[in-house]
Structure 1
Amino acid sequence: MSTVLMPLQPRETPDSNMATKAKILIADPLSESGLSPLSDPKFSIDIKTGLSEAQLCDIIGNYAALVVRSETKVTAKVLACAKNLKIVGRAGVGVDNIDVNAATKLGIMVVNSPDGNVIAAAELTLALILAAARNIGRASHGMKESKWERKQLVGVQLKGKVLGIVGFGKVGQHVARGAVGMGMKVIATDPYASASIASRLSVKLTTLKEVLETADFLTLHTPLLPSTKNMINSQQLAAMKPGHSIINVARGGLIDEDALLKSLQEGHTRSAALDVFPQEPPFKSASSVALMAHKNVISTPHLGASTAEAQHAVAVDVTEQIRDVLLNQLPRSAVNAPTISTSDLEKINPYTQLIEKMGQLYTAHFKHQPPSYELIFSGSIASVPTAPLFAALINGLTKSISARGTTVNVVNAKLVAKERGIVVQERKVPEDTTYSSLVTIKGANGDIIQGFCSEGNGSQIVRIGDFETNFVPQGTVLIARNFDRPGMIGVVGRILGGEGLNIKNMTVAARKYGNGEKEGDALMILGVDGGKVREGALREIESTNGMLSAQVVSFDPSEDKVLAKL
């Protein structure tokens, strides 16, 4: 989930001057009405579905735009053959079937339709909640076998029950509206959910712990990331009240299927309704097959977006964006990036990486996330366009939580921030007496992180809260706040060594700014390698006499990471 910037000029193609029609290839079935935005005489549409990779390679060089759903695989090989391609449009949310990295390297924009199936997914969720509550799956199957199991299939009413929502984005909000309408009490967890939106919907925002412990019905609405894989496992299931039901219309892999099956077999979980699976179709997965075979499991073949209205909406959404890009306008849901000048790109690139890492660090280090932030640019960095830097901040702040199916970039950063209730005020200070360029992130509660970029050493963090420091944000970093007394570093080193971990670098930061609530405390900043720092090791560090807090953050840009925090 990284902020990527496109070249200023579009790819040169025979159709760039519109002297001839821009050719658009529709490679997967779309609703006919969804093609209406491309009725412009400047465009020529070919519909060719069911193409193999080789067949697609043979013809893709003739097209300026490609539209797919989930069936067609837009591989690096296909993109390499696409000499005239400007844009790939995915009529839907996920872009797993498109090699986005390869497209970006070739200057090909990728767009999707993250909102077109919101209502469809929410309605299916509500349908599955009702089906799980009233045993509709078992009842229907029994009737086909001439079984009249009226007494055996007594259900539960939804009125008065608690619905727990994990991921309070647009789908979660629509589900909440329907559930409240049925008389359910709704609670939700999402670190960046809007409190005002939740209040209007009569939803209580709370912690994941409370959601798990309180919910009669639990529904998931998060993307599948390394930080969310198997987020509902045996430990979380055990924390839930007996007789709960689980619904998943989001992504397969969010639930540990073996753990869920065991909980169902033991009667702790009353029922489950699943529309998605780690492997689809799921019939070659022993875990999925065993889970689907359980009498209290309702399974559907990934129908979340399968309504006529949703199919029309995603088709219109993506074809409108195809039209706009071919007419040299910006799309509204770019996955990989907008335009920026080459000269500004050279200045901005190091700072996008720095600010994203500063946002990650802010989320990991400070316990209370503020309602608003100030993003201050001092020195020469104040002279460049800052929209990509704003996007990098939003990206960093939200990196460990639900992405709602979109990548944060300069096209969608403001929308993502608004949806999640993040307010950022930008301020530019043309000169700085200490650094040629300095970036400051300041929360409304006064918490501060500062950093700069240097040619020799790259990104540098120079302030965390009231502590002056200087370290490179890379790899795995453990940050511990402790009383500044002899032996503290040795204690942490012993605990990490016992875990088979190595301290590769170390910085001790003294308190410089403000009075602080703790006299004589310091920050210990350790670069760690050799494996993952377990939560148990963090707890042992924090429980050490003289230790005040401990967090781990991974700055590895190659994948989404969990930010562990005590």
Structure 2
Amino acid sequence: MPKVLISDKLSPRAAEIFRERGIETDVDTGLAPEELKAKIGAYDGLAIRSATKATAEIIAAADNLKVIGRAGIGVDNVDIPAATGRGIVVMNTPHGNSITTAEHTIAMMFASARQIPAADRSTHAGKWEKSRFMGTELTGKVLGVIGCGNIGSIVVERAQGLRMRVIAFDPFLSPDRAEDLDIEKVELDELLARADIITLHVPMTDQTRGIIDAAALAKTKPGVRIINCARGGLVVEEDLKAAIESGHVAGAAFDVFAKEPAKENVLFGMEQVVATPHLGAATAEAQEKVALQVAEQMADYLLTGAVTNALNMPSLSAEEAKRLGPYMQLAEQLGSFAGQLTRTGLTSARIEYEGDVAHLNTRPLTQVMLCGLLQPMLDTVNMVNAPIVARERDIDVAEVKHERDCDYQTLIRLTVTTERGERCVAGTLFGSDKPRLVEVKGISVEATLTPHMLYITNEDKPGFIGALGTTLGDGGVNIATFHLGRAERGSDAIALLELDEAIPADVLGKVRALPHTKQAEALRF
């Protein structure tokens, strides 16, 4: 009989579900790390919320642990690489608190527009300052939604019920999906310029960190309000404070902060800022829902092997895992390569398998490639739910196996279509286990993808490579390897550089400003 430990406060119904399905369950909350370390070796499953820290040390002591289930979306308290190394599946419940978070966003919009917290404090103090708190109607205002995924789309529906006009920026939002939601899809600069209220619903990634900074705020209309119930760090708090003090930004409402728990913050004490302590998921209904979901998911895995909402495992058997390992690494890298270069709406992905790989079970390869493709903008996507996320966003996915001979013993090619065109990338395995990039946009370029890469497309003109090297050298950036390719003389060329460390933003800006540069992107693998 499997045995599960519930180490955080969950709905009592979670323990009942485990026991009803024949799983022995202990509830022991508030354990100190050393206490948890001493107990964990006896359990097959660990059900947690945010209080328990499943560190590498705890995981190392978990000799029998097979699954960690997080009741909620965030898994910052789980060392996923350590869990993966021990063969432990990590699951979460990414959609259980979507409605609650969306409702909190709407509440924060009202609180800011009508200055409810400040008016409440004033009235409790017996001041009755009715003329001081002149509010703003939401009806007829333009709401700019940055990120129109699961939570963002719920916010859209609620805002439309308030008769707001909604525009959205989301590179993964297809025209058909925008039409279904009855919203206008725009680029970020247009959203900043038109929105009366801006609300953020994106994960924290390299592309979204600080997306609302001083430069972005300068593009907004006077009197704009900023709402953030998504992730701390999406808005540069110091820049927002300056914009509020200048009078350009009328107000803000934040449920999340760059550093949490937020005992101190530059925004605290400003009457124009409504602040709550990360309450987005804090409703009885949401907590009940995620507890039930995590119990069902963990029970399914322990009893039948079924995997739902896993963040570190595709759907495949143990026998397949060993053989497919190198192919999965290649597939993930190809997907990530294309995903990090995608800046506009993704409409389709075509995955082609040639040679030896065409005779294998390619379903997990397709899943991990889609995961790599979508993860740069969607941190909730994983190897299991990637196909579902693609369908929800109207991304057409085609998988093709070719029996024909190819130049390599095995070849995987990914072609993505966006609103601006088509891009393809292909790779192979060297020595049967070493992933290697061999083609980008039809141009042959052979490279190993490492943690810090610089990708450049440029016009094939004399002097460009020298100028590029000088710019990087002047910026203190060391080149480990340098790979070049071009379509034909004088046409487009590609440079793919392996760097010893991440390229600083200012140096990347100088690279983009070089004559003949068409695109320059820092990539991470």
Within the candidate set 317, 325, 339, 2:293 is matched to 317
Q: Is residue 173 of structure 2 the alignment partner of residue 204 of structure 1? A: no
SS for the counterpart of 2:166 is: strand
Quote the residue 1:443 is aligned against.
416
Which aligned pairs between 1:298-309 and structure 2 lie closer than 5 A?
Answer: 298-309=274-285
- In 2, Cα distance between the equivalents of 1:386 and 1:41? 33
**Cα deviation per residue 1:323-353 (whole Å; 9 max; x = unaligned)?**
1112123132112214534553344222322
Q: Is residue 388 of structure 2 the alignment partner of residue 412 of structure 1? A: no
Q: Give how far 1:448 is off.
A: 2.4
Within the candidate set 450, 468, 472, 1:492 is matched to 468
Quote the residue 2:65 is aligned against.
85
- In 2, Cα distance between the equivalents of 1:28 and 1:367? 40
Quote the residue 1:7 is aligned against.
none
Q: Is residue 194 of structure 2 the alignment partner of residue 224 of structure 1? A: no
Quote the residue 1:6 is aligned against.
none
SS for the counterpart of 1:163 is: strand
Does the CA contact (< 8 Å) of 1:364 and 1:551 recur in 2? Answer: no
- In 2, Cα distance between the equivalents of 1:87 and 1:363? 29
Structure 1 residues 471 and 293: CA distance shift in structure 2, 3 A: same
- In 2, Cα distance between the equivalents of 1:280 and 1:485? 50
Quote the residue 1:550 is aligned against.
519
Quote the residue 1:187 is aligned against.
167
SS for the counterpart of 2:335 is: helix
Q: Give how far 1:53 is off.
A: 1.2
Q: Is residue 152 of structure 2 the alignment partner of residue 162 of structure 1? A: no
Structure 1 residues 133 and 350: CA distance shift in structure 2, 3 A: same
Does the CA contact (< 8 Å) of 2:113 and 2:137 recur in 1? Answer: yes
Q: Is residue 493 of structure 2 the alignment partner of residue 523 of structure 1? A: yes
Structure 1 residues 437 and 78: CA distance shift in structure 2, 3 A: same
Within the candidate set 132, 140, 144, 2:124 is matched to 144
Does the CA contact (< 8 Å) of 1:275 and 1:303 recur in 2? Answer: yes
Q: Percent identity?
A: 36
Within the candidate set 247, 252, 264, 1:272 is matched to 252
Larger mean Cα displacement after TM superposition, 342-351 or 110-119: 342-351
Please, what TM-score do these two structures have when normalized by structure 1? 0.86
Does the CA contact (< 8 Å) of 2:447 and 2:496 recur in 1? Answer: no
**Cα deviation per residue 1:233-253 (whole Å; 9 max; x = unaligned)?**
222222211111111111222
Letter in 2 for 1:301: P
Quote the residue 2:271 is aligned against.
295
Q: Give how far 1:392 is off.
A: 2.6
Q: Give how far 1:391 is off.
A: 2.2
**Cα deviation per residue 1:193-243 (whole Å; 9 max; x = unaligned)?**
243232122211222222222211111112223433322222222221111
In structure 1, stretches of 5+ residues that fail to align are 1-14, 16-21, 513-518, 558-566
Structure 1 residues 150 and 291: CA distance shift in structure 2, 3 A: same
- In 2, Cα distance between the equivalents of 1:348 and 1:89? 25
Which aligned pairs between 1:325-474 and structure 2 lie closer than 5 A?
Answer: 325-338=301-314, 340-341=316-317, 344-365=320-341, 370-403=346-379, 406-409=380-383, 411-444=384-417, 447-455=423-431, 458-474=434-450
Does the CA contact (< 8 Å) of 1:538 and 1:550 recur in 2? Answer: no
SS for the counterpart of 1:74 is: coil
Structure 1 residues 373 and 526: CA distance shift in structure 2, 3 A: closer
Does the CA contact (< 8 Å) of 1:336 and 1:407 recur in 2? Answer: no
- In 2, Cα distance between the equivalents of 1:456 and 1:241? 56
Larger mean Cα displacement after TM superposition, 527-536 or 330-339: 527-536
Q: Give how far 1:93 is off.
A: 0.9
**Cα deviation per residue 1:388-410 (whole Å; 9 max; x = unaligned)?**
2212322232232132xx2421x
Structure 1 residues 452 and 257: CA distance shift in structure 2, 3 A: same
Larger mean Cα displacement after TM superposition, 108-117 or 25-34: 25-34
**Cα deviation per residue 1:153-188 (whole Å; 9 max; x = unaligned)?**
101111111111111111100100010111111111
Letter in 2 for 1:326: L
- In 2, Cα distance between the equivalents of 1:230 and 1:483? 31
Does the CA contact (< 8 Å) of 2:411 and 2:427 recur in 1? Answer: yes
The number of aligned residues is 522
- In 1, Cα distance between the equivalents of 2:511 and 2:82? 43
Larger mean Cα displacement after TM superposition, 450-459 or 436-445: 450-459
Does the CA contact (< 8 Å) of 1:193 and 1:419 recur in 2? Answer: no
Does the CA contact (< 8 Å) of 1:165 and 1:219 recur in 2? Answer: yes
Give RMSD over aligned pairs.
2.4
- In 2, Cα distance between the equivalents of 1:319 and 1:239? 46
- In 2, Cα distance between the equivalents of 1:297 and 1:379? 59
In structure 2, stretches of 5+ residues that fail to align are none
Quote the residue 2:3 is aligned against.
23
Letter in 1 for 2:385: N
- In 2, Cα distance between the equivalents of 1:347 and 1:326? 24
Q: Is residue 151 of structure 2 the alignment partner of residue 171 of structure 1? A: yes
Structure 1 residues 55 and 191: CA distance shift in structure 2, 3 A: same
Please, what TM-score do these two structures have when normalized by structure 2? 0.92
SS for the counterpart of 1:421 is: coil
- In 1, Cα distance between the equivalents of 2:17 and 2:82? 27
Q: Is residue 79 of structure 2 the alignment partner of residue 95 of structure 1? A: no
